[in-house]
Structure 1
Amino acid sequence: MNVLCIGGGPAGLYCALLMKKRTPGHRIVVVERNRPYDTFGWGVVFSDQTLGNLVAADEPSARAILQSFNHWDDIEVFFKGERVRSGGHGFCGIGRKRLLNILQRRCEELGVELVFETDVEDDRALAARYGADLVIAADGLNSRVRTRYAATFLPQVEARQCRFVWLGTTKRFDAFTFDFRATQHGWFQAHIYQFDGTTSTFIVETPESVWQASGLDAMTQQESIAFCERLFADRLDGHPLMSNAAHLHGSAMWIRFPRIVCEHWVHWNGDVPVVLMGDAAHTAHFSIGSGTKLALEDAIALDACIAAHAGLPAALAAYEAERAVEVVKLQSAARNSMEWFENVERYAGLDAPQFAYAMLTRSQRLSHENLRLRDRAYVAGYESWFARRAFEQAGVAAPGDLAIPPMFTPFRVRELVLKNRIVVSPMAQYSAVDGTVGDWHLLHLGARAVGGAALVMAEMTCVSADARITPWCPGLYAPEHTAAWRRIVDAVHATSDAKIGIQLGHAGAKGSTRAMWDGIDMPLDDGNWPLVAASPQQYLEGVSQVAREATAADMDRIAADFVRATLAAESAGFDWLELHCAHGYLLSSFISPLTNRRTDEHGGGLENRCRFPLRVFAAMRAAWPAHKPMSVRISAHDWVDGGITPADAVAIAKLFKEAGADVIDCSSGQVSKQEKPVYGRMFQTPFADRVRNEAGIAAMAVGSIFEADHANGIIAAGRADLCAVGRPHLANPAWTLAEAARIGYRMVAWPKQYLPGKQQLERNLERERQLAAAGAGLTPQQVAAKLLEG
């Protein structure tokens, strides 16, 4: 087979040498526009895992790369004059020029033809000239091939929010160093790592607005470098900063990162396929050190797919399918990391230890327990710092041993102290009779109250009969409802140290429907009641009842209903009250522009759309005891173009904060059936993160939080103050206690009646850990040593 590779960067060279190594009879030509052994850039970073992949793919080039690497385990963060260091991260740095030189020499050893100083303007003509059976387009960020066949590849190219400049310095750093500097215009950060015996990469990054306000857009290259030298003078210790892009003018050396995503990677010119690879196909932000990693792994995958499949069509289809999955995972993590660095100002209020922890876990690929595996001493020290502060803030005497996972630290809201950070989400049971809760609710909520969570939330409870979602939803609009709820609240208080809250809501256009198991959101066959919403609405087009627009009289009545229910909740003895303003229910329908098309004072801009929900909240807050907390559940993202966005959620949170809310419960979606949510573990946590750190109000994270590791990372990083866990609590009422045992935390209190179960569970889990360690190839002595460490 004749193979033409356009682009002599890491992707093209590595793919060429792997294919030539596997099948020496191939003729493989790599065409590169630069001179031989010439490149731009400073160092690149690999993880230890990536190095393992290289060794397996081609040991000779991997050996040469390993011999040229500068290896380090530590990450060091400088913030607000403090230094935080953690270890066990396992990175290697190598000069980009050195890496390419190794790959070029290896290609030459194997017989790959390298053609330099050739700028490819017409890939089809060049393919014809070499008689190519396959064209590999590895021509980088500004790929001409990708542009030419854009109708096939369907690329999305997005210039991101920060400007950055790639510099070098002669100062050597013994850790991957992140340095954050506040200026009068905003934040700058440096990403620094050593890549050979004498030189370190020194990337300076800042948001576009800060870059312009600092005057860097008008500076020469020499002035820009001098600016950075002054800003990071104490980190450079007199060493200069250097640029290897002398051909660029001052402002041109500062670039915006292009995030590139392609829907397809293969195009056919007749019988000759053109396949994208490396930066031509995708990019991943430098803060996660993955661009070159992705390029090399593309090459490994393409070579393997061609070897494993008969014929190029099947091989390239397999390559695209396999790499698309892996790249999406890494690009998702890289996007999280990139967005974190774009928004350093958001986290400027954090103390240095928490800021550093948040930075380490920014991509959501590095979890709390993974950090513990890397550096047990660092995590133990951080947990002690976090716990000490948490007990101080809660006004509770701290225990002697502060080695407490963050999810088990206390949290104070007004005069209420929660024993830990876990909340049982409100989960509809559809088991009330005429609005009255009964034995099922007593068992359901009682079991979870003794299961270890700090706060158990009752399901959405409706403020009137016509506010119900279904005929089987609970209410607080009749004396018998209050008495029934009091029975449950008293039982929770008598048998556990958990607190219990209630969520009040009005179904709006989503009311008068069947129970979930009989057809969620489907209207009743008979017995329907009239519905109201912010504007005329039919939730399921052509299926649901049509809700009429709420009048002023309707709003007066509904506000009064909420106040009456609030007073009833206090009479029933609830500790916590939440107002439901999410998921397309009545108050949510006022907030979202998708469902509010009013032209009066309750329609139009966001503040007008929030007017009625805020009125209801203020009336409830006035009726609810001042010493008790109130939260508000919002849909922080409608997942529909033109709907509520996370930025809107911050504005909404600020409005409710001004009205007296204590916590914002950050959910999303369920406002429109046109929604296209992006699911994944902890997928709604970024909304809580923004609300907490931009609106300055405590936040509750919800959505696919199903492990202690998730909750610990969220709380420790300051992404939320509380974690609401729903479905896992349906499967296991004692989820919180079970997770404590699973992570080896034994100091959590169990009901005395259940202590034998605690001991058995802890023994079983300890045995599983021993077996896992033995399976990892450890000797019995090593297993014993690890058990003693733990």
Structure 2
Amino acid sequence: MTIKKITASTPAPGVPFYTPVQSPPAGTALSTDGSDVPTVFTPLKIRGLTLQNRFAVSPMCMYSADDGHLTDFHLVHLGQFALRGAALTIVEATAVTPNGRITPEDSGLWQDSQIAPLKRIVDFIHSQGQKVGIQLAHAGRKASTLGPWHSRSIGEIATAEHGGWTDNLWAPSAIPWAEGFPTPKELTVAEIEGLVQSFQDAAKRSVEAGVDTIEIHGAHGYLISEFLSPLTNTRTDAYGGPLQGRAKFLIDIIKATRAVIPEDMPLLLRISATEWMEYTNQPSWDLEASKQLASTVADLGVDLLDVSSGGNNNNQKIQISPSYQIDLAGQIREHLASQGKKMLIGAVGMISNAEMAKSVVQDGKLVGTGGGGAIETTVEVDSEHGTKAKADLVLVARQFLREPEFVLKVANELGVKVRLPAQYLRAPYPKVQKL
């Protein structure tokens, strides 16, 4: 990696305040030829976006917004990850309508006044030479709950006295989340079409705020996920029935979003690979359905599939292991490869140490662009362990809360020399034995 010659006063370009340019950005591998760098510290090109490493901050709800507006808390919270080497930071689930918030304190992008506070965060992350995305969402029947520190249990209802809207929950079918929870309103076709417009409008605002990528939230039992599952979607119109009908709402959103974002901007999609209800022997959303959906959206301009799981049923039985979601991602990736599809895969869940982060994406050669772009020949086998890479991007959530410097720590433990923030160069990590 060649470091451009800069002076002490060279400012970061394109931001409305002074901070020194980070050249190259923190978290960039400094190997002279790249041959000794594990895949997790090699660049990834997604459409027109290039990340200098394979680490992304997964969207994490903070329940700290003011009527949907991000605040200085979010500036500090999200900025710390970019400062310390995360190539991509994705802003938390951001509601496209007021009643699409999970809690009254969730982020939103349903009105123009919410653009400026988002842009302030975007500007800071860009000043560090890093990239930023936003996850657009609607909570469906799981909306109007209390934030975790306001409630005795996860998902406790936020009534009107707490700013909630239990009388205005939306879902594909009038099926409550669980016993004792409000019954949502079954959406009309006109209301569904209005929500597609709301996603498109939020995408336009995201572009105006300067984000580098947009992720559509189709996981965890929120509205899109509810449409996909036959357990929560019992409609008999064009938005129900077979998988093609249940996926129509998502497909319409993808098309509407792709139509208003720049051609070179990547579009991401998060799904639950399974809702963990197979044990009932009833039709449910499962891995095979996710494979079919992945094949479909790969042809619609989705560049990376962010694979999570669960969240759509209170009776789910998750088969937890350290790599339980990573393995799901790997199976979808193999399915796409068998069909010649070029969509990239992101893996998330319980990634908390250097060896695990490395193993998720370890490859023999750099994977090329997604979204229908040319892909270079890829050697899928990890020469050290004889295993296949499961994904192309490592999405980390709670470990970043524990260790905001996770990217730099992983580099140190793997023996990879990376760039530190310019202001922190006087405090390098002490060398440790390479894993």
Q: TM-score range by the shorter chain?
A: 0.7 to 0.9
1:754-765 matched pairs, under 5 angstroms: 754-758=424-428, 761-763=429-431
Contact 1:468 1:512 in 2 (8 A): yes
* Percent of residue pairs bearing the same amino acid type: 37
CA shift in 2, pair 1:401/1:582, >3 Å: closer
Larger Rg: 1
Aligned residue in 2 for 1:547: 184
Partner of 2:9: none
- Paired AA for residue 158 in structure 2: L
- Kindly indicate which of the two structures has a greater share of residues assigned to helix: 1
Q: Deviation string for 1:162-193 (max 9, x for gaps)?
A: xxxxxxxxxxxxxxxxxxxxxxxxxxxxxxxx
What is the one-letter code of the residue matched to 1:428? C
Q: CA deviation at 1:744?
A: 2.1
Using the size of structure 1 for normalisation, the TM-score is 0.45
Displacement of 1:743: 2.3
Residue 397 of structure 1 and its aligned partner are, at CA, apart by 12
Match of 1:455 among 68, 88, 94: 88
Alpha-carbon offset, residue 757 of structure 1: 2.5
Residue 138 (structure 2) pairs with residue 506 (structure 1) = yes
Q: Distance in 1 between matches of 2:409 and 2:74?
A: 22
Q: Deviation of residue 741 (structure 1)?
A: 1.0
Equivalent AA in structure 2 for residue 456 of structure 1: T
Cα contact 1:410–1:419 (8 A) shared by 2 = yes
CA RMSD of aligned residues (A): 1.7
Distance 1:397 1:658, change over 3 A: farther
Alignment of 1:679-690 (within 5 A): 679-690=320-331
Per the alignment, residue 155 of structure 2 pairs with 521
Q: 1:739 aligned to 410, 420, 430, which one? A: 410
AA at the equivalent of 2:76: L
In structure 2, distance between residues paired with 1:400 and 1:714? 23
1:705 to 334, 351, 365: 351
TM-score by length of 2: 0.82
Bigger RCO of structures 1 and 2 (CA < 8 A, at least 6 apart): 2
Distance 1:397 1:657, change over 3 A: farther
Distance 1:577 1:525 in 2: 31
Alpha-carbon separation, structure 2, partners of 1:744 and 1:652: 39
Give the partner amino acid of 1:427.
Answer: M
2:58 corresponds in structure 1 to 425
Once residues 742 and 404 of structure 1 are traced to their aligned partners in structure 2, the CA distance between those partners, rounded to angstroms, is: 13
1:509: Cα distance to partner?
A: 0.3
Q: Is the 8 A contact 2:30 2:418 kept in 1?
A: no
Structure 1: distance between partners of 2:257 and 2:138: 14
Q: Identify the residue that residue 49 of structure 2 maps to in structure 1.
A: 416
Give 2:134's aligned amino acid.
Answer: I
Name the residue aligned to 2:309. Answer: 668
- Measure how far apart 1:549 and its partner are: 0.8
Q: 2:284 maps to what in 1? A: 643
Which segments of 5 or more consecutive residues in structure 2 lack a partner in the other structure? 1-28, 363-387
Query: Does the 8 Å CA contact 2:63/2:105 hold for their aligned counterparts?
Result: yes
1:76-128 deviations in Å (ceiling 9; x for gaps): xxxxxxxxxxxxxxxxxxxxxxxxxxxxxxxxxxxxxxxxxxxxxxxxxxxxx
Deviation sequence 1:111-161 (CA, Å, 0-9, x none): xxxxxxxxxxxxxxxxxxxxxxxxxxxxxxxxxxxxxxxxxxxxxxxxxxx
Distance 1:507 1:417 in 2: 31
On the 8 A contact 1:742/1:762 being kept in 2, the answer is no
Find the partner of 1:435 among 58, 65, 68.
Answer: 68
Rounded Cα–Cα distance in structure 1 between residues aligned with 2:99 and 2:360: 38
Q: In structure 1, what is the equivalent of residue 207 of structure 2?
A: 570
Query: What per-residue deviation string (whole Å, max 9, x for no partner) do you get for residues 546-582 of structure 1?
Result: 1111101111211111111000000000001000011
Secondary structure class of the residue paired with 1:651 = helix
Is the contact made by 1:407 and 1:708 (CA closer than 8 Å) also made in structure 2?
no
Contact kept, 8 Å, 2:30 with 2:419, in 1: the verdict is: no
Please state how far the C-alpha of 1:401 moved relative to its aligned partner. Answer: 4.5
Q: SS at 1:723's partner residue?
A: strand
Match in the other structure for 1:559: 196
Q: Is the 8 A contact 2:63 2:147 kept in 1?
A: yes
C-alpha distance in structure 2 between counterparts of 1:700 and 1:443, whole Å: 25
Secondary structure of the corresponding residue to residue 89 of structure 2: strand
Give the C-alpha shift of residue 398 in structure 1. 8.7
What amino acid is aligned across from residue 654 of structure 1 in structure 2?
S
Match of 1:545, SS state, is coil
Q: Could you say which residue in structure 2 is the equivalent of 1:729?
A: 400
Question: Do the aligned residues in 1 keep the contact of 2:399 with 2:406 (CA within 8 Å)?
Answer: yes
Aligned with residue 256 of structure 2, among 619, 622, 627: 619
What's 1:480 paired with? Answer: 113
Gaps of 5+ in 1: 1-395, 770-786
Cα distance in 1 between the residues matched to 2:250 and 2:426? 48
